[in-house]
Amino acid sequence: MTHDLPDLGTIRGMTLATRASGTGYAARDDMLLCAFEADTVAAGTLTRSSTPAAPVRWTRERLAAGDAPRALVVNAGNANCFTGKRAFALVEGSVAALAGSFDIAPESVYVCSTGRIGEPIAEDAYMASLAELRDALAPPDFAAAARAIMTTDAWPKARAVELGSGARLVGITKGATMIAPNMATTLTFLFTDAAVDAASLQAALSPAVGASYNCVTVDNTTSTNDSLLCFATGKAGPVAPERLSDALHEVLGELSRELVEDGRRAGKVLAIRVSGATTTESARAIARAVANSLLVRLCLSERPPYTNAPFSAGRVMAAIGAAVQPVSADDIEIRLAGVPILSEGAVVNPMPEAALAAIDGNEIALDIDVAHGRAEGRIWTALVA
């Protein structure tokens, strides 16, 4: 996987600016401001955590109310979370400042934060940076935006595709740790100039998130600040709903896999595909159970496995059973790197050398057929070194 940023192009109907505020990182941009022209619409998915950060609470209200976005402010390096009343006071203060600066309603300002939890933000530096960002707004430089939202990322992450009718879709994301499928720990922002209403945008976005960000896990830890937002300015022509859906699946799929690739660092990426399930949700539940099995993860993390014994598909079978989903146990088939390691309910012993050798690679493919239906699902996880 290449880590070079592609040509991201531009999106009509918006401007952006980045700045080094010092509130999160020294000597690098750590704040982003986007401004949108009137009639822009928003869609999104946010963390399902019951202890969300103050920015999530504010932005969740904006999405629920259908508030048209005119500005988005993001800071990296500090989550603005679990600092008591100060956290929400900073959100309200930044919203009021931007609303006054743009002469817009406070409810038109969306807010996101990511970084250290439980540490108050340097409020004076943060608020001063808002004014600097407002004065620096320019045609969008999405590469700069991708870099500004990074935290522990090893590289900036962005993708762009043409939608047709003169419209374009650009996505940026960040994340390497605290990645778990409860919508996956990240800040992710999508921008398009396609003409689409908010309801249609949400209808296309939600399943794309379900098939991508909700299907990756690094450390099985859900964040307090998960935010994935999509903004459509409508300054280009309309696009076919299926084209918008395909593009969202493509961009989010590639970006979410980059989170796993970054999260593995010196470890491995494990791609789990479950077929023969009763529903896609059931397949994903099984794959997630396998991905989160500590025993499976340890056994696939090194060769020889930590037990100093050949890896056994029995450990995968145990994880499958722990998912408590409909399966035909005696007919399950498991392949590691395409090589059968369990067939008709029996572990292949000894484990084929070709399968065992796959453990040495940076990417491992584990395919499971539970022989109980026609649905399939996938989960990608990082086996961190």
For residue 189, what pLDDT band results from cuts at 50, 70 and 90? Answer: very high
Last residue of a domain, one of 216, 249, 264: 264
Order across the sheet with 333-336: list the strands. 216-217, 375-383, 268-277, 363-369, 333-336, 339-343, 346-347
pLDDT greater at residue 247 or residue 360: 247
On the question of pLDDT at 317 being above 80, the answer is yes
Average pLDDT, the chain: 91
Q: How many other C-beta atoms lie within 10 A of the C-beta of residue 71? A: 25
Q: Summarize the confidence of residues 302-316 as an average pLDDT.
A: 65
Residue 361: the pLDDT is 84
Which residues are known catalytic residues?
A: 185
Confidence category of residue 302, pLDDT binned at 50, 70, 90: low
Q: pLDDT at position 68, please?
A: 96
What's the domain count of the chain? Answer: 2
- Model confidence at 222, pLDDT cuts 50, 70, 90, reads confident
Give per-residue burial for 241-264: e unless 16+ CB within 10 Å, then b.
eebbbebbbbbbbbbbbbbbbbbb
Query: At residue 304, does pLDDT exceed 80?
Result: no
Mean pLDDT on 56-82: 96
332: in domain: yes
Is 184 a residue whose pLDDT tops 80? Answer: no
Indicate if 185 and 172 belong to the same structural domain: yes
- How far, in Å, are 174, 195, 262 from residue 245 at the CA level? 22, 14, 26
Q: What is the pLDDT of residues 252-300, one digit of tens each?
A: 999 999 988 888 877 889 999 999 999 999 999 999 999 999 889 888 8
What's the confidence (pLDDT) of residue 329? 93
Q: Are 257 and 282 in the same domain?
A: no
Report d(CA 240, CA 235) in Å as an integer: 15
57 and 127 in a single domain? The answer is yes
Q: What percent of the chain has pLDDT over 90?
A: 75
Q: Are 10 and 52 in contact (CB under 8 A)?
A: no
Confidence band of 308 (pLDDT split at 50, 70, 90): very low
Range of the domain at 344: 268-383
State the CATH number of the domain containing residue 176. Answer: 3.60.70.12
Among the three residues 232, 264, 296, which one is the final residue of a domain in this structure? 264
Residues 218 and 252 in one domain: yes
> Which one of 239, 264, 289 terminates a domain?
264
Instruction: In whole angstroms, give the CA distance from residue 275 to residue 104.
Output: 50
The pLDDT, as a whole number, for residue 352 is 86
Closest CA to 150 of 173, 129, 182: 173
What pLDDT sits at residue 309?
Answer: 52
Residue 307 has pLDDT above 80, yes or no: no
Query: What would the mean pLDDT of 83-102 be, rounded to a whole number?
Result: 96
Inside any domain, residue 1: no
* Judgement on whether residues 82 and 124 belong to the same structural domain of the protein: yes
Q: What is the mean pLDDT of residues 216-220?
A: 78
Residue 361's domain is classified under what CATH number? 3.10.20.340
Question: Does residue 289 share a domain with residue 207?
Answer: no
What does R_g of the chain's alpha carbons equal in angstroms? 22
Give me the pLDDT at residue 183, please.
Answer: 47
Q: What is the average pLDDT across 37-54?
A: 94
pLDDT of residue 62: 97
